[in-house]
Structure 1
């Protein structure tokens, strides 16, 4: 499995992204994989998340939003440790077991879901994963399945009850 060495980094000027050294990302770029599983550590706290390596204005970077910063207890200019691993997950994100179970039980909705772009699939999975309650995840996934079968494709409408 491809992995980077552990490196130190800090949140950059816009406070939502990390500027990555070419040396760190080069093995991933050569393997044509821009999705990574990242492990960030700061003052005894550890955060594991999935992310994309992007090239913007000639620099490699990665989104690192306020939620992640808050979870680690980071402030601007704090230096923390990070390491990248090859993302071997199917969708580039952790899939809630409730989502998986409902999708397995509804083949028609699953086929529609699979026809979407990888980014749209991730967005819908994130839409389910944000709920803390297991039953809510099940209910929202059931609603998603019904709306997919109704032909609804707009992400804003997929989690709304249709009457």
Structure 2
């Protein structure tokens, strides 16, 4: 059974982080889970994403980064109260993989095998880089370039989606 928290209330008090009470996160920490799937609720909006969670040295509570982009998507300001729920991260890479990347990997097994040898963080970085492209065709084109770069052993994030 997938571990999940109850829905709980949080006040937005920090522009960079969400602080999670230790009584909420303890069941995840006890299982050495440092990544979770997050669901935030504010007004009529719901936002799903994956996040790394770390223990806050000062309070003993836990915290995760909370980007300005996500705050903007929810139209959240400092002082606002919102609801949150945490779920065990059962994804392979700690992020949803675009369908376009899955399809390209099916056609380029060599690139996929190289991708699989990268660290989880590097894999997530590449996936997030690909997700920033808007259209499906852009994602396919960039995934094809990324595969060529993997096979050339070019792992630099800034060059991953560019032809040399």
Using the alignment, how far apart are the partners of 2:12 and 2:111 within structure 1? 40
1:148 paired residue number: 150
Taking structure 1 as the reference length, the TM-score comes to: 0.95
Distance 1:112 1:39 in 2: 32
Q: Deviations over 1:103-160 (max 9, x none)?
A: 1211111111111110110010000111110000000000000011111121111111
SS at match of 1:124: helix
Deviations 1:30-74 (A, max 9, x none): 111111111000001100111111123244100111111111110
SS at match of 1:80: strand
For 2:85 and 2:153, the matched residues in 1 are separated by: 41
- CA contact 2:12–2:82 (8 Å) conserved in 1: no
Q: How many residue pairs are counted as aligned between the two chains?
A: 161
What is aligned with 1:42? 42
Gaps in structure 1 of 5+ consecutive residues: none
Match runs of 1:33-72 below 5 Å: 33-57=33-57, 58-72=60-74
Structure 2 stretches of 5 or more lacking a match? none
- Supply the RMSD in Å over aligned alpha carbons: 1.0
1:73 corresponds in structure 2 to 75
